[in-house]
């Protein structure tokens, strides 16, 4: 979810090859949810499962999509969410309620054999479990791909890593990375290529998008602090509905007119339990930790055994492993050469 700045920000579309040689810190939860939403059975619209009923969409996306990124010369580091801030708990509870309702509607759609509703409610009912997270970390370990456990929000940690030049950019679909101070945000990494439009027999070509924070601030004529104010006005993960009557353009207008946090939020009607000051402070100074970029050795035998246990195609697994081997052997010595 997160804040939506689409109407305000110009993006640069690039080919995936243009990101070769870059190190990108990927928001793991955001990406895994994308895999769970997109990688589905074509007939039923439900997530992929093995014969034991275990969901495998996240593992499919993680192995094959990450392999594709590495094949294109991109060095990836996944960043997993830690403990959410206390003021997000009500939002999380609401999401749980919505997923529960979607699950009930999904079961009814199955009884009625309504394929379109099954597709719709199956996506809405999707949830990322602790077991799926553990499985994902195992796959990354076996692939030799580094991951980081954030103390709080994964996007905040990824943005911190980018701001310290440990990585070139933060990778996520959400715009929150910019609010957290990422100098660059790369979107569409997990969905690059031809994608089917929801509920339509039409396809679009999706390319990676690069958004640079300094260019955004210059384009809008505001500071990062004011960008955070705009985000809070239109709605973030911590106040999803935003302030009544405020879209991106109205929020930009108010922030440029009032300028300071105090004047902006004294002029609006705040209807949320969490105070705007708390949200603002969290975006400006989120819990993060120092990390080191480390080279990890893959265990392809364990990777193959793990994926075979979930009944993935042996041929496809072997092809992915062969691609990873070639990509790894083709890298230049020294991780510093990735950090461009």
* pLDDT tens by residue, 124-147: 778 899 999 999 999 999 999 999
Instruction: Indicate whether 321 belongs to any domain.
Output: no
Q: How far apart are CA 176 and CA 298, in angstroms?
A: 32
Task: Judge contact between 34 and 61, C-beta under 8 A.
Answer: yes
Are 146 and 27 found together in one domain? Answer: yes
* Token pair recorded at residue 128: 């990322």
Paired strand residues for 204: 195
Classify strands 169-171 and 203-206 as parallel, antiparallel or unpaired: unpaired
What's the mean per-residue pLDDT of the chain? 90
Instruction: Indicate whether 337 belongs to any domain.
Output: no
For the purposes of burial, counting CB atoms within 10 Å of the CB of 99, is it exposed (0-12), middle (13-18) or buried (19 or more)?
A: middle
- Considering only 92-96, 256-260, 304-308, 315-319, which range has the smallest mean pLDDT? 92-96
- Considering only 6-20, 264-278, 323-337, which range has the smallest mean pLDDT? 323-337
* Token pair recorded at residue 252: 């930009």
**Confidence category of residue 196, pLDDT binned at 50, 70, 90:** low
Q: How far apart are CA 151 and CA 147, in angstroms?
A: 13
Q: How far apart are CA 169 and CA 6, in angstroms?
A: 19
**List of residues 6+ apart from 253 with CB closer than 8 A:** none
- 326 Ramachandran zone, left/alpha/beta (phi>0; psi -120 to 50): alpha
Instruction: Indicate whether 228 belongs to any domain.
Output: yes
In the 3-class helix/strand/coil scheme, how is 25-93 assigned residue by residue?
Answer: EEEHHHHHHHHHHHCECCCCCCECECCCCCECHHHHHHHHHHHHHHHCCCEEEEEECCCCCHHHHHHHH
**Confidence category of residue 42, pLDDT binned at 50, 70, 90:** confident
Question: Stretch 59-66: mean pLDDT, rounded?
Answer: 97
- Domain end, chosen from 261, 285, 309, is at 285
Question: Stretch 285-294: mean pLDDT, rounded?
Answer: 94
Are 199 and 94 found together in one domain? Answer: yes
Q: What is the pLDDT at residue 191?
A: 81
Are 26 and 128 found together in one domain? Answer: yes
CATH number (domain holding residue 3): 3.40.50.1010
**Residue-range definition of the domain harbouring residue 230:** 222-285
- Considering only 23-37, 55-69, 121-135, which range has the smallest mean pLDDT? 121-135
Query: At residue 213, does pLDDT exceed 50?
Result: yes
Q: What is the pLDDT at residue 194?
A: 66
Instruction: Indicate whether 269 belongs to any domain.
Output: yes
Are 86 and 203 found together in one domain? Answer: yes
Q: In what order do the strands lie in the sheet with 209-212?
A: 12-13, 209-212, 184-187, 169-171, 23-27, 75-80, 147-149
Are 128 and 276 found together in one domain? Answer: no
Are 196 and 237 found together in one domain? Answer: no
Task: Judge contact between 201 and 46, C-beta under 8 A.
Answer: no
* Counted domains in the chain: 2
**Cα dihedral sign, 292-16-198-240:** positive
Instruction: Indicate whether 291 belongs to any domain.
Output: no
Long-range contacts of 255-258 (CB under 8 A, 24+ apart): 255/222, 255/226, 255/229, 255/230, 256/221, 256/222, 256/226
Query: At residue 1, does pLDDT exceed 60?
Result: no
Alpha helices, H only, 144-284? 154-163, 176-179, 213-220, 224-234, 248-258, 261-266, 276-284
Q: How far apart are CA 179 and CA 336, in angstroms?
A: 27
Q: How far apart are CA 151 and CA 265, in angstroms?
A: 29
Long-range contacts of 203-207 (CB under 8 A, 24+ apart): 207/13, 207/14, 207/15, 207/16
Are 216 and 227 found together in one domain? Answer: no
**Confidence category of residue 337, pLDDT binned at 50, 70, 90:** very low
**Confidence category of residue 339, pLDDT binned at 50, 70, 90:** very low
Q: What is the pLDDT at residue 202?
A: 66
| Short-list 216, 247, 214, CA closest to 230 | 247
CATH number (domain holding residue 263): 1.10.150.20
Are 230 and 185 found together in one domain? Answer: no
- Considering only 1-10, 236-245, 261-270, which range has the smallest mean pLDDT? 1-10
* Token pair recorded at residue 331: 């890298």
The H or E element containing residue 132 is: helix 130-143
| DSSP secondary structure string for all residues of 135-179 | HHHHHHHHHT--EEE-SS-HHHHHHHHHHTTSSSEEE-SSTHHHH
Query: At residue 333, does pLDDT exceed 80?
Result: no
């Amino acid at each position: 979810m997160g804040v939506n700045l689409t109407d305000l920000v110009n993006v640069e579309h690039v080919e995936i090859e243009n990101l070769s040689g870059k190190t990108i810190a990927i928001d793991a939860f955001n990406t895994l949810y994308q895999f769970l939403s997109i990688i589905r059975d074509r007939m039923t619209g439900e997530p992929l499962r093995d014969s034991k009923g275990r969901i495998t969409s996240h593992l499919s996306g993680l192995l094959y999509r990450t392999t594709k990124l590495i094949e294109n010369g991109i060095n990836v580091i996944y960043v997993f969410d830690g403990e959410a801030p206390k003021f997000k708990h009500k939002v999380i509870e609401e999401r749980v309620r919505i997923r529960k309702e979607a699950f009930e509607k999904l079961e009814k759609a199955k009884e009625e054999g309504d394929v379109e509703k099954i597709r719709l409610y199956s996506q809405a009912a999707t949830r990322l479990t602790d077991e799926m997270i553990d499985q994902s970390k195992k796959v990354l370990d076996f692939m030799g791909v580094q991951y980081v456990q954030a103390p709080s929000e994964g996007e905040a940690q990824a943005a911190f890593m980018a701001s310290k030049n440990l990585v070139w950019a933060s990778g996520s679909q959400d715009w929150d990375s910019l609010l957290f101070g990422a100098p660059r945000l790369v979107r569409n990494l997990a969905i690059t290529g031809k994608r089917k439009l929801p509920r339509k027999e039409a396809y679009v070509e999706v390319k990676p998008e690069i958004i640079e924070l300094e260019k955004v601030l210059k384009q809008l004529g505001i500071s990062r602090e004011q960008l955070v104010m705009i985000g809070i006005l239109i709605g973030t993960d911590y106040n999803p509905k935003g302030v009544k009557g405020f879209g991106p353009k109205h929020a930009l207008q108010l922030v440029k007119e009032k300028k300071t946090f105090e004047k902006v939020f004294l002029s609006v009607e705040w209807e949320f339990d969490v105070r705007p000051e708390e949200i603002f402070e969290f975006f400006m100074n989120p819990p993060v930790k120092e990390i080191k970029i480390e080279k990890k050795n893959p265990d392809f035998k364990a990777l193959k055994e793990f994926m075979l246990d979930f009944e993935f195609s042996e041929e496809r697994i072997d092809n992915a492993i062969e691609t990873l081997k070639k990509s790894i052997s083709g890298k230049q010595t020294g991780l510093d050469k990735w950090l461009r």
